[in-house]
Structure formats: structure tokens, C-alpha cells
Amino acid sequence: MKALFDGKIAVITGAANGIGNAVAQYLAARGATIVGVDLSDAVLQVGETLEGDGHHGIVADLTDASAAERVIAEAVDKVGTPHILVNSAGIALLDPALDVTVERWQKTLDVNLSGTFFMAKAAGAVMTKAGYGRIINLASQASVIGLDQHVAYCASKAAVVGLTRVLAMEWARAGVTVNAVSPTVVETALGKAAWAGEKGEKAKREIPVGRFAQPEEVAAMIAYLASDDAAMVTGSNMLLDGGYTMI
């Protein structure tokens, strides 16, 4: 039987860890060929941990605005024109607003916002030409609510939702959908560091389902948005928050 992502090429940023890695595992297990992108050179070995052959790793610092063009050109050259882009590279630098330095503010925007946009722009150029594409941007529940000490993070994630809507509108007639996914805390390195100890236990009690999310649960939502079946879903910000933001 044909697997859901047979013949599909998926570029995934942040693929060395956390949600990006879980998405790579999830899509590869269903037939996709993965181009993993990360700051960490662990991404060069990521193919060895995935089902199937032909996966490719690229080391890139996505705060360098010119990196995205190079990444997409290498993906096209080594694997083929991507059908799917998942922007999962991201950082969470937490400070009270009065203590945020210019450097930490700028770094957050460079990775979470500019990195996401320039990857989407470079992928969108080849996808709109091909007449097919699925772009999924990791935002966060921080895109729709305020969180203590998350001023740069919340601003960057709300902006990711804003750019998602514009790209969705501009590329809809070209067969390219663009959506954001907004999880509550996910139990990855980033999530555990930001929500350790009593702060995390309190947050879990405030989530209606009573727990944080697992990376595989986020991967399953992303896989739906990345599938042919999701052709009518574009410009959305899909929450995966155990009910937290409905309160």
C-alpha cells in the first residue's frame, strides 16, 4: 500500500532535536524523504535514525539571512524540489521585559521570525513555480496569550502568525498552503528548560488536560497540514494546547 508521504520531499529546520526531529521521524516513517537543517552538526547523522533512504542533512545558521537560499538550493540539487517545509528551528530566551538586552531581543527575532520568513520565502519561490507546497511554521500558544518573561518570544511568535497569513494569501492560487501550529509547552529540551520546577507543575495544573504535550503529538498535527488532504486549510494558526488558551 502507498504510504501517505511517498514521493514527498520535506525540508525540516531544527531537525536535530525536539519537535523538528519528531516531525522528521513521523514523516519519514510514512514515506517522505527528509532534508534536515540545523545549527547543530548532529543533523548530518539524522538520516541514519530515520526510516527509508535518501535523507540529507544540512548545517546552517538560519540567523544568517542568506542561509535560506543556500539551503533550498542544496535541497533541490541533492534531493529534489521540496513539497513540504516545516520551520521548527527556534529559541526561547526568557527575561523580564525591563531586563531584555538588545542582543537577546534581536537574537530571538533573528531565529524565530527572520529565520522562519527567509526559509519560507526561499521554499515558496520553488513551490509556487512547481504549483504545490505545504509550509508549516512553528508558532506557539505564546502567539495568542501573554506569558511572564516571554516578551521577545511572544512578540516573535505573534509575528510568525502574521507572516503566515500573508504568505497563505499570496500563494493560495499557486497551490501552496501556509499554516502555523501553536503548541502549549512540549516536553523537549527547549520546553523543559523554560518550564522546569514548580513553575512547570503550576502550568500543568492550569491546562485543562492536566499535562504538557509530547513532540509526537505536534508531529501528528503537522503531518495533517503537510498532507494532500489539507488543501483547504491555509492561513490558520492551529492550537495544540490541551485547552489552555480557551480559558
Ligand X SMILES: NC(=O)c1ccc[n+]([C@@H]2O[C@H](COP(=O)([O-])OP(=O)(O)OC[C@H]3O[C@@H](n4cnc5c(N)ncnc54)[C@H](O)[C@@H]3O)[C@@H](O)[C@H]2O)c1
Which active-site residues does the annotation give? 153
* Grid cell locating 122: 526561499
Site for ligand X contains 91 (CB under 6 A): yes
Q: Is 89 in the site for ligand X (CB under 6 A)?
A: yes
Q: Which is nearer to ligand X, 70 or 129 (CB)?
A: 70
Amino acid code (one letter) for 172: A
Partners of 10 in the β-ladder: 34, 84
Q: Which of 5, 8, 10, 20 binds ligand X (CB under 6 A)?
A: 20
17 near ligand X (CB under 6 A) = yes
- Rounded to a whole number of angstroms, the minimum distance from the CB of residue 70 to ligand X is 12
Asked if 140 interacts with ligand X (CB under 6 A), we say yes
> Rounded CA gap, 88 and 1, in Å?
30
Find out whether 37 and 109 touch, Cβ atoms under 8 Å: no
Counting every residue written for the chain, the total comes to 247
CA-based nearest residue to 188, from 14, 4, 7, 6:
14
Cβ proximity of 240 and 217 under 8 Å: yes
For ligand X, the binding residue among 11, 39, 122, 136 (CB under 6 A) is 39
Neighbours of 177 (CB within 10 A): 23
Restricted to residues 218-247, the positions that interact with ligand X (CB under 6 A) are: none
Judged by CB under 6 A, the residue of 6, 41, 49, 61 near ligand X is 61
Residues at the site binding ligand X, with contacts judged by CB under 6 A: 13-14, 16-20, 38-40, 60-63, 88-92, 111-112, 115, 138, 140, 183, 185-186, 188-191
